[in-house]
Amino acid sequence: MHNKQQQRSDYLYEQHVTHLTLQGKRPETIDGYSRTLGRITHHLDKSPDTLTTEGLKRYFAQRIKTHSWNTVRINRDGLRKLWVSYILF
């Protein structure tokens, strides 16, 4: 990831954690959702706001093969919370 993309990714990560905290999420939930964001951006080597549907399909198809459905669901929900907070704020 380029330096500018990394800075953008770091900013979105911080905003994501802040929004989850303001929503009253438990520390365990915040940790799970924020780790998801880091995992996806690292795997796809892109800032969260530049992820594509195709890239996410590949990521989740791979996760389903190697992780429990509960882990995949947490990943999906964490990403969904990012998009909601990104759109609203």
Please give the helix or strand (H or E) that residue 79 lies within, else none: helix 69-88
Under the banding of pLDDT at 50, 70 and 90, the label for residue 21 is very high
Structural domains of the chain, count: 1
Report the pLDDT value the prediction gives residue 79, as an integer from 0 to 100: 85
Enclosing domain of residue 62: 3-88
Are the CB atoms for 26 and 32 separated by under 8 Å? no
Decide which of 77 and 1 is more confident.
Answer: 77
pLDDT per position as a tens digit, 26-78: 999 999 888 888 888 888 888 888 888 899 999 999 999 999 999 899 888 88
Looking at the predicted structure, is the pLDDT value of residue 85 above 70? Answer: no
Decide which of 82 and 62 is more confident.
Answer: 62
CATH, residue 61: 1.10.150
The structure's pTM equals 0.74
Report the pLDDT value the prediction gives residue 88, as an integer from 0 to 100: 57
Are the CB atoms for 54 and 66 separated by under 8 Å? no
